[in-house]
Every structure is written in C-alpha cells, then in structure tokens.
C-alpha cells in the first residue's frame, strides 16, 4: 500500500492524536464554518476541503470508528516499513484481532468503515456490493419510496447500500445521479430523510441468473454532521452564545434557521447557560407534513478582550454586586 493512500484525519482537523472528543468537535466546527460552501460559493478547493473535514470528523467523532482508524494507521505504518518475519500488506496481517490486509487501499477501508458503496464486506449477507459515484447532473427517475421491509418477490434478490447526504440535502430534498455497477441512475430523495431512512430503487438490484429478473436496490441514508445544526428526532438543535449582559437583562437576538433566514428570539432576563429556548415549527421537515421544532441551547460567553471602559464598568459592578452565585455551596459536606 502506497504511503499516499493514507489520510491523516488528525492533521486534517488540526488536532493531536490524543485530542478529546470536545477538542475534535471544536476543531471541526471552526473549520466547517471557514470552508462551508455557503461562504465559499464556486470555490472548488473549499468544497473539497469541506468534504475532507466532514469525512475526518465522521471518523474521529465516533469512538469505535476512531479506534479502528488508529489501528489501521498503525498497520499502514508497519506496511510501509516492512512487516517482521517477511509479512507484508495484503498478506493477512492481524492487528489486535482484525485483519487489515483484506483492504487493497485506504479508500477501501474508509468506504467500509463509513458504510459507503464498494466496501469489501458489502452490505451484509443478503446484499450485493456495489460501486458508487456521483455523476453530476440529473435526469430521468426510477420509482422508489420509503420502505420498512427488506426483500423482494420469490426468486428475486434485493441489495442495500449507503448514501451519504449533507444536512441541507436531506432537509430540502435532492436529486442524486449515481453510478451503480454498470448503470447510471437518478433518484429523488424527498425532504425530511434521516439517518437510517431507506429508499427503494426498483429493478436496480442483482439479477437472478435463472429468472433473469432484477431485484430492488435499497439506499440507506447516512447524514453528514453539520457545523451548527444537529438533528434530534424531529427537532433541530443549535447552540447560540450570548453575552453576560444579555443573560442578566434579557435580549432580542437573531438566530439562523434551516430555511436560510434568521428568526428573532426573545431571551428572558436571568437565563442560565445550558437552558434551551424553543422555536415551534422551525425544525426538521416531517414526512407526514409539518415541521418539528428548533431548540436553541444558550451558552453564556464571557468576553476575553475588554476595552478600558468596559473593564472599569465590570470592576464597578463587582464592587457593588449583591448576588452570590455560590451561596448554595456553603453547606456542602461529605
């Protein structure tokens, strides 16, 4: 395996290999805001960087995936240096109980780790492995729908594969033109798809060699993480910072919504960090019609850089403040 096959996701996010989950999350959010397509329209390099950042975060934010990725990195390093006892890459070298030698490249490993098309392990015992790539524009539709059951008629085999969507694509609905084996197909994914949603593409599964009938292809949706919104059931959750004076006195603030607009939100006086405010009907699109809610988690952020006048006012406030936020700790005993 060539050294260029391996991607260092820690370097991509600019964190150390011992970084905590919070550090990884913070690094991802910072980079995602910088390279997000909405602020780099038409910039192909920023678009590629944004995809790379999302891929790195998808791996490193999941403890199980991160562990396997770290093990693969160790395997790759040993493969490049030459394995002891004459063993080499692709010869069935076992690392902590897992044979990474089954993968011909780093891309094969990541495809399976993230559940993409084309992984060596396929999609399970009943599935046929397919290669996948986007082919740009879209035209022509294949019938599909959300399905709860897997399997076709007697003698017909169905298959399943993963399709990765951005949160915006899933929220708004999107057309995807895909190459599946030797076929180029176009599917329309309706607004409101979630991780785990399954789309049925009729007649694009494996061909039964005896009956010559083709089964159906089921696309299982996997949502990519977003730098601001997180999906929680039918609701969207976001974290919004406010200043100490806004927390004390209350404020009217602008909060981004998934529609691409902002909404005025009244922050009540005396709100605590960690409390949430609810915007009804501004959350995820529901398949039955309507919308979930947008939950706004408030974070009180102290300013780091103060002007001389601000510092003097804060010092005066401290001198006259009657409120003691730690009064309840006076009687704490073991």
CATH number of 230-303: 2.60.260.20
Mean per-residue pLDDT, 57-71: 89
User: 81 pLDDT exceeds 80?
Assistant: no
User: How far apart, in whole angstroms, are the C-alpha atoms of residue 50 and residue 53?
Assistant: 5
Poorest-confidence range of 126-130, 175-179, 223-227, 307-311?
Answer: 126-130
Position 135 scores a pLDDT of 35
Poorest-confidence range of 37-51, 121-135, 154-168?
Answer: 121-135
User: What are the residue boundaries of the structural domains of the chain, listed by start?
Assistant: 1-114, 119-225, 230-303
Burial level of 52, CB count in 10 A (0-12/13-18/19+)? middle
CA 212, distance to chain mean position in Å, is 39
Which run of H or E residues covers position 165?
A: strand 159-165
User: 92 pLDDT exceeds 90?
Assistant: no
Stated pTM of the model: 0.57
Position 272 scores a pLDDT of 94
Question: Does 119-225 match 230-303 in CATH topology?
Answer: yes
CATH number of 1-114: 1.10.287.110
Burial level of 148, CB count in 10 A (0-12/13-18/19+)? exposed
Position 181 scores a pLDDT of 63
215-242 pLDDT, tens digit each: 888 888 999 999 999 999 999 999 999 9
Burial level of 96, CB count in 10 A (0-12/13-18/19+)? exposed
Residues 222-239: b if buried by 16+ CB within 10 A, e if exposed: bbbbbbbbbbeebbbbbe
163-213 pLDDT, tens digit each: 889 999 999 999 988 776 667 788 888 899 999 888 888 888 777 767 778
Give the CATH class of 119-225.
mainly beta
Q: How far is residue 108 from each of residues 60, 103, 119, 212, 320, measured CA to CA in Å?
A: 17, 6, 6, 30, 64
Burial level of 173, CB count in 10 A (0-12/13-18/19+)? middle
Position 198 scores a pLDDT of 87
Mean per-residue pLDDT, 65-76: 83
Mean per-residue pLDDT, 40-56: 87
Mean per-residue pLDDT, 87-111: 58
Confidence of residue 151 (pLDDT cuts 50, 70, 90): very low
Question: Could you tell me the sign of the dihedral formed by the alpha carbons of 39, 114, 172, 291, in that order?
Answer: negative
Mean per-residue pLDDT, 12-34: 92
């Amino acid at each position: 395996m060539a050294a260029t096959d391996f991607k260092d996701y820690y370097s991509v996010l600019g964190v150390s290999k011992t970084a905590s989950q919070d550090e990884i999350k913070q690094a991802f959010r910072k980079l995602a805001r910088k390279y997000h397509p909405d602020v780099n329209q038409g910039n192909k390099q920023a678009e590629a960087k944004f995809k790379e950042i999302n891929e790195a975060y998808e791996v490193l934010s999941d403890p199980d995936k991160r562990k396997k990725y770290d093990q693969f990195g160790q395997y790759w390093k040993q493969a490049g240096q030459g394995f002891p006892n004459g063993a080499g890459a692709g010869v069935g070298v076992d690392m902590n109980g897992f044979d990474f030698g089954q993968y011909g490249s780093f891309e094969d490993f990541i495809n399976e780790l993230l559940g993409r098309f084309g992984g060596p392990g396929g999609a399970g015992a009943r599935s046929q492995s397919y290669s996948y790539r986007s082919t740009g524009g879209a035209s022509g539709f294949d019938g599909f729908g959300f399905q709860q059951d897997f399997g076709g008629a007697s003698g017909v085999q169905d298959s399943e594969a993963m399709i990765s969507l951005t949160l915006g694509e899933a929220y708004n609905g999107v057309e995807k033109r895909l190459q599946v084996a030797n076929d180029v197909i176009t599917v329309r994914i309706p607004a409101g798809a979630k991780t785990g949603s399954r789309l049925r593409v009729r007649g694009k599964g494996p061909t039964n060699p005896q009956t010559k009938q083709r089964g159906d292809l089921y696309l299982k949706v996997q949502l990519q993480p977003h730098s601001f919104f997180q999906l929680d059931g039918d609701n969207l959750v976001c974290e919004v910072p406010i200043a100490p004076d806004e927390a004390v006195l209350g404020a009217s603030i602008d909060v981004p919504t998934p529609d691409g607009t902002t909404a005025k939100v009244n922050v009540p006086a005396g709100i605590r960090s960690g409390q949430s405010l609810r915007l009804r009907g501004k959350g995820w699109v529901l398949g039955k019609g309507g919308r979930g809610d947008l939950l706004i988690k408030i974070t009180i952020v102290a300013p780091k850089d103060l002007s001389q006048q601000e510092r003097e006012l804060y010092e005066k406030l401290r001198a006259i403040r009657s409120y003691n936020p730690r009064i309840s700790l006076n009687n704490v005993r073991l």
